[in-house]
Amino acid sequence: MTYEQAVDYVHFLFVFCIVIPKEAREVFGIKPGLERLNILLEKLENPQDNLKFIHIAGTNGKGSTSTMISNALISANYKTGLFTSPYVFDFCERIRINDKNIPKQELARVVSRVKPIIDELSENGLVITEFEAITAVALLYFSEQKCDYAVMEVGLGGRFDATNVIKKPEVAVITSISKDHTNILGDTIEKIAFEKCGIIKDGTSVVTTSLQDNEALKVIEKTVKEKNANLTVADFDNVEILSEGKNGTDFIYKNKRCFVSLDGRHQVENAIGVIEALNKIEKVEYEDIVYSLKHTVMHGRMEQIGDNVLIDGGHNEECSRALSSVLKSEYSDKEITAVIGMMADKDCEKYLSNVLPYCKRVIFTKPDNPRSESPERLSEYSKKYIDKISIEINPKIAYHKAVENSQFVLVCGSFYLISDIFKDGDKAYD
């Protein structure tokens, strides 16, 4: 199996699952739960049992938190696996060891080992989803490579997420919770928090933020008590901001000075959660944490490219508020043309209401994903916030039109959009 065949196979599992009508999914073995993945992993000799885990759930900040934790563990000389989603440029970004993508030939090899078992289960009525398959691939690879730690970012929710095959993490981190994926996780913060808290196991060390939604925090505290776990709340009241700008934020937390290189004050919130989580890991020194915060780079998350392009894959209300805050504080002198594409299952109108007031013009486009919202509908949502609206279905063409005719370009609304524009090596990344 080649790398291309491996990726095509994993993507096939995604397409196969979404084309099955909702009412028929249980017939095909597709329903919430970890049974399918546990069976698959058992046939792979339970690679997850050979690993120590740090497990991260939440609505916002999971990727940043996971990456900062991974980098600190690497700095402390731990061999560290990192599993995240989605990818921006290269599928292999999702599975990393010591900050290096899984080699393409290794991905092909591991998928080749997993595929016959997946096919066998499918023939017996248990359909493995794309995310379950790539989770199994990651766990097997990390185990084969004898990682000291595996940092696992939850894909969706927590309770039934594929990553929750972890029996007991060393630390469970729950980042900021807000309304997202309400059709799956529930229509209230309490219901969503309940799903996220599924990663809390008996006796687990748990870290969350003092800026957590009050209703979510109540659910976290209740679950911690029920599971006889230990809760640490990273207290933003102990933060003193010294300076902040496009290159990051200089701050003091509990009398110790740090610099987080990721843009936006919300990254300070993520950073202090990272500090508290890593304080529970043996042999991780404060110098390792400081190094991680200062040197972490996140593609596609409020990332400035060159002098005139900003990209951000955040897609919910809280992400849009964070983006609008950055636009207001750091880009108010720019005439911004936004290139926006979103998924239909997001609160598109709320997102646009926060972002568009800081833009001069917007080009709506359509990411190559079956869940994409139509540009025409996005346009209708936007008329009350902005006058200069156009539509270009092809994301790359939309982007190049914006670059050629604008002082400053913002690409936002979806990681799928960013991937469609930049994955083949666009000139903005030259």
Same domain? For 249 and 318 the reply is no
Provide the pairing of β-strand 95-97 with 100-101.
antiparallel
| Residue 158 shares a structural domain with residue 19 | yes
pLDDT in tens, 99-149: 999 999 999 999 999 999 999 998 988 889 999 999 999 999 999 999 999
With bands split at pLDDT 50, 70 and 90, how would you rate the model's confidence at 428? very low
pLDDT, mean of residues 182-203:
89
Do residues 229 and 336 share a domain? no
Which CATH number do you get for residue 366? 3.90.190.20
Q: Give me the domain span that covers residue 332.
A: 303-429
Euclidean distance between CA atoms 60 and 58, whole angstroms = 6
* 160 in the same domain as 102: yes
Residue type, 417: L
Distance CA 138, CA 81 (A): 8
Query: Tokens 């659910």 belong to which residue?
Result: 219
Which of the 8 DSSP states describes residue 72? Answer: H
Same-domain status, 227 and 307? no
Query: Rounded to the nearest 10 degrees, what angle do helices 35-43 and 104-123 cross at?
Result: 120
How far apart (Å, rounded) are the C-alpha atoms in residues 122 and 130? 13
Claim to verify: residue 155 and residue 195 sit in the same structural domain? yes
Q: Does residue 89 sit in helix, strand or coil?
A: coil
284 and 162 together in one domain: yes
In 10 A of CB 229, how many CB atoms?
A: 18
Tens-digit pLDDT profile for residues 342-383: 999 888 999 999 999 999 999 999 998 888 999 999 999 999
Do 117 and 235 reside in the same domain of the chain?
yes
Task: Write down which residue in 238, 269, 295 finishes a domain.
Answer: 295
* H helix runs in 227-264, sequence order: none
Q: Are residues 274 and 214 in the same domain?
A: yes
Give the separation between CA 423 and CA 203, rounded to whole angstroms.
Answer: 42
Residue whose entry in the numeric block shows the structure tokens 């080649």: 2
pLDDT digits (tens, 9 = 90+) for 276-319: 999 999 999 999 999 999 999 888 888 988 889 999 998 888 88
Q: Which of 295, 325, 348 is the last residue of a domain?
A: 295
Cα(160)–Cα(410) distance, rounded to whole angstroms?
Answer: 35
Bridge partners of residue 95, in order along the sequence:
83
Q: What does pTM read for this prediction?
A: 0.88
